[in-house]
Copies of this chain bind each other. A is one copy, B any other.
Amino acid sequence: MKKFEEKTIRTEEIFDGKVVKLQVDEVLLPNGKRSTRELIKHPGAVAVIPITKDNKIVFVEQFRKPLEKSLIEIPAGKLEPGEKPEITAIRELEEETGYTTSQLTFVTSFYTSPGFADELMYLYLSRDLEKVDQPLAPDEDEFVEIIELTLAEAKEYVSKERIHDAKTNYAIVYLELLERML
């Protein structure tokens, strides 16, 4: 018995899409009462903090439909079923930025919103970037623009909320910490 476990009495599948699935579970609470939980199933994702040889961070700007605006983020993408996160990371880096790398360091992983979603994000740091002559094309419904920034510039974008998502904000504070540790 896991602590505070909520046993599933019944699962109702509501939606099965190209990115997310939604189900509603009826659960038995630790106190014997019943409740419902709304659960988003997501394949998981990978993000890369790419650092160029002149110590700039490579970001991509893209429109985020849920927010009806564009954000500046580190390159990222969804895991394919059965794919190793490192493989996804290298591919998304090339597709979105035109860079590749032979050097990928695991930084951390985290659930993005464990209250309602199972999305797990893997975060890597990559140096020794090399421009690819004919990079892989992004997904056909993906439109991104590359922006290379110093850490100080990136912090400005955080304060203006142009950089404003969990993985990228994490990346910025992580890089600040790295800089202090040198």
Contact = CB atoms under 8 A, between A and B. Distances in A.
Interface residues of A, number: 74
Name, among A3, A14, A110, A168, the residue most crowded by chain B CB atoms within 10 Å (CB to CB).
Answer: A110
A135 B10 CA distance: 34
A115 B169 contact: no
A25 B65 contact: yes
Interface in A27-86: 27, 29-31, 33, 35-42, 45, 61-67, 69-71, 73, 76, 78
Given A14-B22, A36-B18, A166-B166, A111 B67 contact: yes
A158 interface: yes
A120 to B, nearest CB: 8
B14 A141 contact: no
A30 B45 CA distance: 24
Nearest to A121: B166
Contact of A65 (B39, B64, B111, B180): B39
Nearest to A62: B4
Contacts of A177: 173, 176-177, 180
Name, among A64, A161, A164, the residue most crowded by chain B CB atoms within 10 Å (CB to CB).
Answer: A64
Interface of A: 2-6, 14-15, 17-20, 22, 24-25, 27, 29-31, 33, 35-42, 45, 61-67, 69-71, 73, 76, 78, 108-119, 121, 140-141, 143-145, 158, 161, 164-170, 173-174, 176-177, 180-181
